[in-house]
Amino acid sequence: MMVHILSEQNSIFNQFTAELRDVAIQKDSMRFRRNLERMGEIMSYEISKTLEYHTKETTTPLGIAETSHLTDQPVIATILRAGLPMHIGVLNYFDRAQNAFISAYRRHHKDNTFDIHVEYVSSPNIDGKILILCDPMIATGGSIVLAYKAILAKGTPKHVHIISAISSREGVDYVKANLPTKNFTIWCGAIDEELTAHSYIVPGLGDAGDLAFGEKI
């Protein structure tokens, strides 16, 4: 399983990551959503370099041009609700893609432990397709693993690209240990080393869903 960490190279991507983390800037929920969307766009561009293309003739006002076209459109899947801004960013680039949505949540217990439950999956057939799975935060890795296993009811994808803004080292290791190593690629904006007892990434950025869409009760 290949893991790409975009923050390891200097680019404008790192500014978007810094703004996501900044406690002053992240108070602007519209900017927070837009930065996640931008990350989805940049990761989509990187993913597009790995896909298959074919050449065909395109008629211009002055002649014929040989142009390159994506052979197969991917399916974009998102874990609700935090993944929606990244999903929109991916869809901005793969604008003919089909879409899937997965509802997963943490059910907390009195002893401060929690279980992750997948409530429902709305998805087209993904058999033999390229699947792009969006989750802005890979903390424990449990949600992304359960989401992938749940969507397998809709078919077996040809290749899976997991995209995340910020991940924990422990979460990435869990994903690598619990998902197939073949035909999987992880794209992370940044990887942080610490995960708290309550499964928050440190330094991280906080709760991506709340910052993007408001607090929940």
- Condensed to tens digits (0 to 9), the pLDDT of residues 161-174 reads 999 999 999 999 99
Mean pLDDT of all residues in 39-60: 97
Distance CA 204, CA 169 (A): 12
pLDDT tens-digit readout, 135-162: 999 999 988 999 999 999 999 999 999 9
In the chain, where the domains are located: 2-51+74-213
**Chain centroid offset of residue 69 CA:** 24
Q: What number of other Cβ atoms are within 10 A of residue 124's Cβ?
A: 14
User: Which of left, alpha, beta for 214 (phi over 0: left; psi -120 to 50: alpha)?
Assistant: left
Residue 197 DSSP label: T
Q: What is the pTM of this model?
A: 0.92
Q: Are strands 63-70 and 53-60 parallel, antiparallel or unpaired?
A: antiparallel
User: What pLDDT does 215 receive?
Assistant: 86
Q: How many residues does the chain have?
A: 217
Is 120 within 8 Å of 154 (Cβ atoms)? Answer: no
**Chain centroid offset of residue 133 CA:** 5
Annotation: CATH topology of 2-51+74-213: Rossmann fold (3.40.50)
Distance CA 147, CA 19 (A): 28
User: What pLDDT does 120 receive?
Assistant: 85
